[in-house]
Amino acid sequence: AQADYAPYFYDNGPYSRNGNLALFSLSEDTAVGTLIYRLNGTDPEGQEVRYGLSFDSGSKEYFRVEPISGNVTLVEKLDREKQDSIDVLVSITDGKSKVVERVTVFVMDANDEKPEFQNMPAITDVVETTESGSSIYKVQAVDKDTGSGGSVTYYLQRTPQSNLFTIDRHSGVVR
């Protein structure tokens, strides 16, 4: 009697075409419909293998796999600010044995959020005797992006009165 061994994935060895599935990340601005990964595997006895994806109950299904080719496609828009990682159960079967592995896909940030003012609009009274250069107001804004995409730089729009005030580009202090 010949032993039947389970099929297995090879995701980062000499037969891999696309990197390590255990360290998978995807930018949140990846277009829906993009081929994002190709599952690779084999069966020790040479049987044809089929691939599958499943998600935890109640989770959004962001990806779809073509069972024979292993091509994984993005089918839902990603948003890192709402969900920064997605757990997926990937499977391979030879018709007799099935192997399932949990994979976490990390959603990487894209500079897609606009800064939001926290304390605007505002009306500030400035007494006529206020010394030039005195702090009169502090503008505050937050950008939900991470890294340099989340930094905020302040400036005043040019108007006939814009030479009366300055704003610190980094702190938001108006003088």
Q: What tens digit of pLDDT does each residue of 63-86 get?
A: 999 999 999 999 999 999 899 999
In total, the chain counts a number of residues equal to: 175
Q: How high is the pLDDT of residue 19? A: 56
Q: How high is the pLDDT of residue 83? A: 93
Residue scoring higher pLDDT (20 or 159) = 159
Give CA 112 to chain center in angstroms.
Answer: 10
Q: How high is the pLDDT of residue 110? A: 84
The whole-angstrom separation of Cα 108 and Cα 175 is 38
- In this prediction, residue 92 has a pLDDT band, given cuts at 50, 70 and 90, of very high
- In this prediction, residue 21 has a pLDDT band, given cuts at 50, 70 and 90, of low
Which residues is 63 bridged to in the sheet?
A: 74
Q: What domains can be seen in the chain, in order of their start residue?
A: 8-108 (2.60.40.60), 111-174 (2.60.40.60)
Q: How high is the pLDDT of residue 115? A: 86
What is the percent of the chain where pLDDT is above 70? Answer: 91
Burial category of 51 from C-beta neighbours within 10 Å (exposed 0-12, middle 13-18, buried 19 and up)? buried
* pLDDT tens track for 27-54: 999 999 999 988 988 898 889 999 999 9
Mean pLDDT score, 101-130:
87
User: Average model confidence (pLDDT) for the chain?
Assistant: 86
* pLDDT tens track for 55-67: 988 889 999 999 9
Q: How high is the pLDDT of residue 22? A: 65
CA distances from 31 to 37, 101, 126 (A): 14, 26, 49
DSSP 156: P
The whole-angstrom separation of Cα 98 and Cα 103 is 16
Report whether pLDDT(116) > 80. Answer: yes
* pLDDT tens track for 130-162: 898 899 999 998 888 777 777 888 988 888 776
